[in-house]
Structure 1
Amino acid sequence: MEHCCKYIASFSSQAPKGIESTIAEHKVYITSPDHSQNDIVVVIIPDIFGWSLTNTRVLADAYAAQAGVRVYVPDFYAGDHAPFDKTALKNFDLNQFISKHPPREKRDEVEHVAKAIKESSKAHRLAAIGFCWGAPSALYMGRQGGVADGVSFAHPSLVQDDDFSALAKPAMFICAEHDPIFTKEMENKARSIMADKANTQGDNRVYSTWHTFLGTQHHFATRGDEDDPYTARAMKDAQCLASNFFKSFRGD
């Protein structure tokens, strides 16, 4: 993970529009348009840059506006996060951070917060998307009996074949072409597992779609360079894919 997670291509120049609150003893960023639907909420499980990264909050604003849903970005690192300063980031000890905040061991905590969000908002449905660190928890919430009604990830890290084998809810996956963390071999194996689920018979059939963005790097969906036209288009298209996926769970 060292190469991809210790890199910020750019900070978003936009200003977040949401508010901050506390749910289940976790700080959380909340954003919703005036026409937001109360029947579905979306939970973003951020990468190691955490809940306060402007890029992630602006992306949450875009999901809210495009899908017409309320979006939550909780703090799962208790105020800790990778530094936003590019010079400090070069000396950031990623292994120590992951040891302190192991994504696979945090899955129950993440789901606990998601359940509290769903209950406090009185939503009927919940969708989750995980970026890098957040991917294992997103998949976990999509298992049989998990709190999510649909799950998604973008350029994941530390996922395992069993995460896909256990998946029981509709899913939408965003992958980067050049990703040393979620390699092409890993992506192909995961696709194979989900293909088996798609082509089975009866109630065990699981819907999923896969989208690999050519010419992109591991971090592109949240931390891509907005000043590069190619990357900016990839970011926008990935954003629209996720928004349409979330919108599909609305009751209207």
Structure 2
Amino acid sequence: MSCPDCFRGSVHAHGEPQGKIETVHGLRTYIAGGGSDIDGTRSKSSILYLPDAFSLKLVNNLLLADQYAARTGCRVLIPDVVYNGGMSPHVLPLMEGLMEPNASWSVGGVLGKLVTALRVIPYALPWLVFGHPSKVYPQVLAYARAMRAELPAGGKLGVAGFCWGAWGGTKLCAESAVEGGSDRLIDAQFNAHPSYIVDTPEVVVDAITKFKVPCASAVAEKDFQFNAEVAGKTEAKVRDAVGVTGGDGGYTYEFKIYKGCKHGFAVRAQQDTASMEGYKEALNQAVAWFDKYLN
């Protein structure tokens, strides 16, 4: 399910997107990296970036994809698969105002909250009805398989999922590269502050056990959904199924708790907060993970 924090956070202004938007495998796609390889630093691997609810409408996702591409050498693709092209960033300040505590409970304050709520409803209600990632999962699977099929010899496919995108990214890890095949589709997965997984924790176990895909998660300690407590229980289920990470069974997983961080921190962190420090650390976590298992 979605939570209020799925629609909170800030728009980042620390750079300009360096990629381009083109149609790839039938979908409008932001492409980061993947240019010429004159200096020999470009990776043969690619990363499928499944975004938060804001998708390509939020510049943060484009900037983050650029950083993944620059620091791993991989080509990074963000397909436009979120319902209605993504939630409008205009909802961010509205939701911040709505969730801000009303200390005085004055008549004006209460009325202001009601007005803000009425402005949020046209954004939130359609999303709650039509926005679940399962509704577009067949498209996501087909897109990932198409990415896999076009990799050069020696190339690998990673997936990074954030909030909305983490559910689909996790499910992809239990899929084969082709329908009915025996080779895995995904070679490494990273997700941050996943939504919906709290309702179906078995997808995490399946992601790790089916093809032994290395899976890492950046967990917000204070997440409405997949918080430190839930992550601990999920990790225990994985451990019961396959043993400790890096053990003789060959299963690799990582649940890293980001103290003081809230849902959305890895994409929409507010400046000068604990979440912004978490943003930087989660970026480092993802880059290190993909460098290890894709390059």
Q: Same fold (TM over 0.5)?
A: yes
Whether the aligned pair in 1 keeps the contact of 2:3 and 2:224 (CA below 8 Å) is: no
Q: Confirm or deny that 1:212 pairs with 2:257.
A: yes
Q: Distance in 1 between matches of 2:243 and 2:191?
A: 18
Name the structure 2 match of 1:9: 10
- 2:146 alignment partner, one of 113, 116, 122: 116
What pairs with 1:133-152 in structure 2 (closer than 5 Å)? 133-143=164-174, 145=176, 146-152=184-190
Confirm or deny: 8 A CA contact 2:8 2:93 kept in the other structure. no
State whether residues 57 and 85 of structure 2, in contact with CA within 8 Å, keep that contact through their aligned partners in structure 1: no
The answer as to whether partners of 1:177 and 1:215 remain within 8 angstroms in 2 is yes
TM-superposed CA distance for 1:121, in Å, is 4.3
Q: Count residues in correspondence.
A: 249
Instruction: Report deviation, 1:23.
Output: 1.6
Higher percent of residues as strand: 1
Is contact 2:64–2:267 with CA below 8 Å preserved after alignment? Answer: yes
What corresponds to 1:166 in structure 2? 206
1:68 corresponds to 2:99 = no
Q: Secondary structure at the match of 1:210?
A: strand
User: How far does residue 144 in structure 1 lie from its aligned partner after superposition?
Assistant: 5.5
Unpaired runs of at least 5, structure 1: none
Q: Does structure 1 conserve the Cα–Cα contact (< 8 Å) formed by 2:20 and 2:32?
A: yes
* Structure of greater Rg: 2
Aligned pairs (5 A) from 1:99-114 = 99-114=129-144
2:27 matched to which residue of 1? 26
Q: Which SS does the other structure have where 1:199 is aligned?
A: coil
Question: Cα 1:58–1:202, aligned 2, differ >3 Å: closer, same or farther?
Answer: closer
Q: Which amino acid aligns with 1:17?
A: Q
Q: Residues of 1 paired with 2:261 and 2:235: CA distance?
A: 19
The answer (yes or no) to whether the contact 2:160–2:169 under 8 Å persists in 1 is yes
State how far apart, in whole Å, the 2-side matches of 1:201 and 1:84 are.
40
Which blocks of at least 5 consecutive residues in structure 2 are unaligned? 96-118, 177-183
1:146-179 CA-partner distances (Å, limit 9, x unpaired): 5211111100010112102212311111000111
1:130 is the counterpart of 2:139: no
Over 3 Å counting, the alpha-carbon distance change for 1:128 and 1:80 in structure 2 is same
Question: More displaced, 19-28 or 7-16?
Answer: 7-16
Name the Cα RMSD after superposition.
Answer: 2.4
Is 1:94 matched with 2:100?
A: no
**CA positional deviation for 1:203:** 7.9
**Alpha-carbon distance between aligned partners in 2 of 1:230 and 1:13, rounded to the nearest angstrom:** 17
Q: CA separation in 1, counterparts of 2:246 and 2:288?
A: 27
Using the alignment, how far apart are the partners of 2:287 and 2:128 within structure 1?
Answer: 29
Cα distance between partner residues in 2 of 1:220 and 1:187: 16
Paired residue secondary structure (2:48): strand
Secondary structure of the residue aligned to 1:55 is helix
Q: Assess if the C-alpha contact under 8 Å between 2:72 and 2:290 holds in 1.
A: yes
Match of 1:157 among 175, 191, 195: 195
Instruction: Name the one with the larger helix percent.
Output: 2
Query: Using the alignment, how far apart are the partners of 1:162 and 1:44 within structure 2?
Result: 22
Residue 37 of structure 1 is matched in structure 2 by 43
Structure 1 residues 98 and 152: CA distance shift in structure 2, 3 A: farther
